[in-house]
Each structure stands twice: as structure tokens, then as C-alpha cells.
């Protein structure tokens, strides 16, 4: 929205003069106020002016009332008066007046202006709700309250911030549910085909899970500490692009010299949920259809060796290239070396030789060398099973030659950004619904889908 520059200059001068007189009147004989205090005082002035202006603007939108309107119950409501209402906005509490109707059989009244603008007196405005949710997806709700008070210059309760954040997540959940319904309809799937030119040549997918602490709320949910940690599953769709030499960090340059490839992710889309693998698979298919994963010429999945992950990939995307994350595979070898060898020199020699064989895609050789240790080392026997079950997913030389990334750092970064940085903050405990909705709201922000949640957006109960 653009504003007249001349008008802005005129208003700015007027406000500056009024502000100067107010400051001078309050600080006679005192040292000049520090600039920080001047800025805060001016912001408070603008906040109060904004609240007054918004209230007057809303009042001005109330049309000339007719004598009667229809009630949803089927009865007739009669005009009563211009009734005052208030809500909490980005400027603080705003008061406005609008026509109010009552007298129906159901006992409920109506205010057409509130219905037209989606206003619910006593609740939080859509603009403020968005700010509360942005704080709630980044900080613990109690920390958000303190931070927002400094930013907004008025206080909002922790519960209101929680409600705003999780309402965003609920709306994202509704969008995902709509995606699932659409992805089961052949007509909808066919309608995407004309835009096939917009499909990327190569698309990556990754699936993972991370633990989140769930607080028991009922006697039958009394769990041991281990059982209170629930798996939250994540899927991530993304594309990769090479990092130009001039933009590589020291670590990236070392990686390039070692592996001749350094990538960074773009166009990321995250989906989170606490769900069984079957239900999460339906969500994986639905979100994949949104990014046309079923239409791309090359679809590549990178993940750890968890069977449930590869079962879902095989079920929904059977033609996809499947790659076990290189770093997970190497960790298995490190585990074997640590247990099987007591001498550091022997351990390092074995690990270097075996890792090089794995890097070259010589999985049978890796399995054989682990089998030699399996009789006396249970860890080695576990590694034999792991490498045998994932042999086709560990053809690293072939994958590198094709230009495929072999690391699942993108989805692991998602786990850190959503689970570690938000849901695992010190002392945090969640209900299942609270954890899921907060994760979905944060995922929408990280996926660049935040604006899709802006309208329509439900109002929130006011708690201050």
C-alpha cells in the first residue's frame, strides 16, 4: 500500500512539533533524554494514535442501519443502537462503535460490521494474531510474552500467544487434509498435467523422525520417562543447487576438494506429524503431489536405514532412486571399529580401509570385512545386517557419478530447526496436539507458506 509522500511529510512535521513540545514540557531543567528513550516514547505515541485511528476507521465503516435484519435462527432482529466494542490489535486495545441488532427468538444479537470484517469483540485481531504466532513459533511461549511486550509496548498473555500459534498450525493442518483429499481424486491429478513444464528436472525427498517430550494428561497415560518421548515424523521436499566457488565457506571448500561436489537446498517444503507410518505415508503422497514429485523425471530419496522410511518410499514412489545417507552408514562402521579394536592404530587402519571401500560402492567387501569380526563382536553382526539390507542404496560411486547428493543433511536440519530449537527448549513438555500444531505452524514459516495461512484466519480469545 502506497501513501502520498507530501502528506507523510506534513504529518511528520506536525507530530514532531507536538512531540517536541511534550518532551520539553516534561523535561524542563533536566538533561536531554537519551535517544533510546525518545524512540520508545515516540513509538508509544504512534501506538496510541494508531489505536485511535483504527477505532475511528472501523466505526466509519458501519453503514446506516436498517430497521431489521434476519437472524440465523430464522427470526427477525431489530436495530437497537450504535453499540461500543473493543478488541486487541497491533496498536493495543481498540474501541469502535457499530450498529447492533437484537430481539430474536434465539436470544442472540448481531453486529453486521463485525461479521463483514470478521471481528469478534474481546478477541485478538488478525494482524496481531499473526505477530503472536510468529513469536510463538520461534520462542517458548513465556519468553515470547516478554519479548512481545518490549516490541508491542503492551502485554499479551502466554495463553493467547499459544492459542495464536496453534491456530496457525490448525489451519495448516486443514490445508494438508485438503491436499490429502485432492491427491486421491484422479480428476485433480489429471488437471496438473498441463503445467508439467514447471516440474523440476530433479527433486529430492527425505523422511526422518525426532523425539519430542509429551506430557501425560490422564491417569491412563502415566508413562515411564522413556515412553514419554514420542516420534514426530517429518518429510522434506527440496531441490539442490551447486554452491559457487566464491560463496563456499572454508568447510565447504574442503568438502569440494574431497568430494568434488557441494550443494545447498532450495525450495524446501516441510511436513510434520505425530502419526503411524501408514497415516504419514498418505501425507507424504499428498504433499508430494503438491510439488509434483510423481511427475519429475528424477526423484531421489535420501535417508537413514530405517525400514519404515524405505517401505513408504517403495509404496508411494517406486521409481525413485533410494540412497542411504552416507554419514549414517559411516557411523555404523565407526561403531564397529570402536567395539572391535582395542588398539587405536588398528582401529583407525580398519576404519580408513573399510570407509574407502564403502565410498567406492564396494558394499560386498564391507559386508565381508564386518563378517570377519561378527563372531566376537555383536556390533559387527548388526552392521552386516544393516549393510546387506541397504546394499542397493549404498552404491555411492554410482550415485556421485550421476550427480546425486548422498547426504540427508537437509531433513536433519529440519529436525534441528523445529524439534531441537523449538519443541525441545529447556523444560518444554507438550500435549500431542500442542506439539503437532506448533510444529506445523513453524514448518509453514520455514517452507515459505506462511502467507497461505493469512486468510481466512480465525479470531482468538483474548487473555491479557
pLDDT digits (tens, 9 = 90+) for 360-380: 999 999 999 999 998 889 999
DSSP string, 8-33: HHHHHHHHHHHHHHHHHHH-TTSPPP
Per-residue pLDDT, 441: 96
C-alpha grid cell, residue 386: 544393516
C-alpha grid cell, residue 411: 531433513
Q: Is the CA virtual torsion 127, 133, 139, 142 positive or negative?
A: positive
Query: Smallest Cα–Cα separation from 422: which of 281, 272, 284?
Result: 272
C-alpha grid cell, residue 425: 527448549
Query: Smallest Cα–Cα separation from 388: which of 407, 405, 371?
Result: 371
Q: Is 126 within 8 Å of 161 (Cβ atoms)?
A: no
What would the pLDDT profile of 278-321 be if each residue is shown by its tens digit? 999 999 999 999 999 999 999 999 999 899 999 999 999 999 99
**Three-point CA angle 292, 442, 447, nearest 5°:** 30
Q: Is 310 within 8 Å of 320 (Cβ atoms)?
A: no
Dihedral pair phi/psi, residue 86, rounded to 5° = -145, 155
CA–CA dist 303, 78 (Å, integer)? 64
Per-residue pLDDT, 464: 41
Query: SS in 3 state form for 210-261?
Result: EEEEECCCCHHHCCCCCCCEEEEEEEEEEEEEECCHHHCCHHHHHHHHHHCC
Q: Is the CA virtual torsion 171, 172, 173, 178 positive or negative?
A: positive
The residue assigned the cell 516490541 is: 151
Q: Is 180 within 8 Å of 151 (Cβ atoms)?
A: no
The residue assigned the cell 518532551 is: 23
The residue assigned the cell 447492533 is: 100
129 burial class (0-12, 13-18, 19+ CB within 10 angstroms)? buried
Per-residue pLDDT, 459: 47
C-alpha grid cell, residue 97: 462503535
Taking 70 as the pLDDT cut, the residues of the chain under it are 1, 24-29, 195-197, 217-227, 455-464
Q: How far is CA 106 from the centre of its chain?
A: 42
Per-residue pLDDT, 360: 94
CA–CA dist 261, 137 (Å, integer)? 34
376 in helix, strand or coil? Answer: coil
CA–CA dist 223, 398 (Å, integer)? 47
**Three-point CA angle 159, 179, 450, nearest 5°:** 45
CA–CA dist 351, 380 (Å, integer)? 12
Residue 86 DSSP code: E
Per-residue pLDDT, 331: 94
C-alpha grid cell, residue 296: 519429475
CA–CA dist 290, 422 (Å, integer)? 26
* Reported pTM: 0.87
Per-residue pLDDT, 199: 85
CA–CA dist 104, 78 (Å, integer)? 8
The residue assigned the cell 493495543 is: 92
Amino acid at each position: 500500500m502506497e501513501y502520498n509522500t507530501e502528506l507523510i511529510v506534513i504529518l511528520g512535521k506536525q507530530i514532531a512539533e507536538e512531540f517536541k513540545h511534550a518532551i520539553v514540557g516534561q523535561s524542563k531543567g533536566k538533561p536531554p533524554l537519551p535517544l533510546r528513550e525518545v524512540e520508545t516514547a515516540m513509538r508509544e505515541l504512534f501506538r496510541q494514535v494508531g489505536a485511535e485511528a483504527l477505532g475511528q476507521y472501523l466505526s466509519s465503516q458501519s453503514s446506516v442501519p436498517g430497521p431489521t435484519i434476519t437472524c440465523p435462527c430464522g427470526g427477525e432482529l431489530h436495530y437497537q443502537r450504535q453499540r461500543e466494542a473493543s478488541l486487541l490489535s497491533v496498536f493495543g486495545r481498540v474501541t469502535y462503535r457499530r450498529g447492533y441488532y437484537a430481539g430474536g427468538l434465539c436470544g442472540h444479537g448481531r453486529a453486521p460490521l463485525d461479521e463483514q470484517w470478521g471481528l469478534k469483540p474481546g478477541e485478538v485481531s488478525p494482524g496481531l494474531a499473526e505477530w503472536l504466532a510468529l513469536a510463538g513459533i520461534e520462542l517458548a511461549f513465556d519468553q515470547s510474552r516478554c519479548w512481545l511486550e518490549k516490541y508491542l509496548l503492551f502485554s499479551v498473555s502466554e495463553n493467547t500467544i499459544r492459542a495464536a500459534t496453534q491456530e496457525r498450525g490448525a489451519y495448516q493442518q486443514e490445508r494438508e487434509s485438503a491436499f490429502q483429499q485432492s491427491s486421491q481424486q484422479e480428476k485433480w491429478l489429471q488437471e496438473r498435467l498441463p503445467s508439467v513444464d514447471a516440474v523440476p528436472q530433479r527433486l529430492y525427498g527425505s523422511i526422518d523422525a525426532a523425539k519430542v517430550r509429551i506430557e501425560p494428561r490422564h491417569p491412563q497415560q502415566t508413562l515411564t520417562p522413556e515412553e514419554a518421548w514420542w516420534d514426530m515424523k517429518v518429510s522434506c521436499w527440496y531441490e539442490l543447487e551447486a554452491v559457487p566457488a566464491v560463496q563456499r565457506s572454508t568447510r565447504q571448500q574442503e568438502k569440494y576438494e574431497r568430494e568434488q561436489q557441494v550443494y545447498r537446498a532450495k525450495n524446501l517444503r516441510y511436513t510434520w506429524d505425530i502419526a503411524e507410518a501408514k497415516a504419514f505415508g498418505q501425507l507424504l503422497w499428498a504433499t508430494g503431489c503438491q510439488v509434483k514429485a510423481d511427475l519429475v523425471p528424477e526423484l531421489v530419496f535420501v535417508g537413514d536405514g530405517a525400514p519404515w522410511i524405505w517401505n513408504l518410499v517403495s509404496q508411494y514412489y517406486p521409481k525413485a532412486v533410494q540412497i542411504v545417507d552416507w554419514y549414517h552408514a559411516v557411523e555404523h562402521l565407526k561403531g564397529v571399529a570402536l567395539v572391535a579394536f582395542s588398539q587405536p592404530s588398528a582401529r583407525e587402519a580398519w576404519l580408513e580401509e573399510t570407509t574407502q571401500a564403502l565410498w567406492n560402492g564396494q558394499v560386498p567387501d564391507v559386508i565381508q570385512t564386518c563378517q570377519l569380526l561378527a563372531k566376537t563382536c555383536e556390533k559387527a553382526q548388526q552392521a552386516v545386517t544393516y549393510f546387506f539390507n541397504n546394499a542397493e542404496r549404498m552404491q555411492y560411486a554410482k550415485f556421485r557419478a550421476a550427480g546425486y547428493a548422498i547426504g540427508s543433511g537437509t531433513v536433519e536440519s529440519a529436525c534441528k530447526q523445529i524439534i531441537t530449537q523449538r519443541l525441545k527448549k529447556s523444560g518444554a513438555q507438550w500435549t500431542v496436539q500442542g506439539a503437532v500444531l506448533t510444529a506445523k505452524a513453524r514448518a509453514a514459516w520455514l517452507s515459505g507458506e506462511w502467507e497461505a495461512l493469512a486468510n481466512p484466519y480465525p479470531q482468538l480469545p483474548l487473555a491479557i
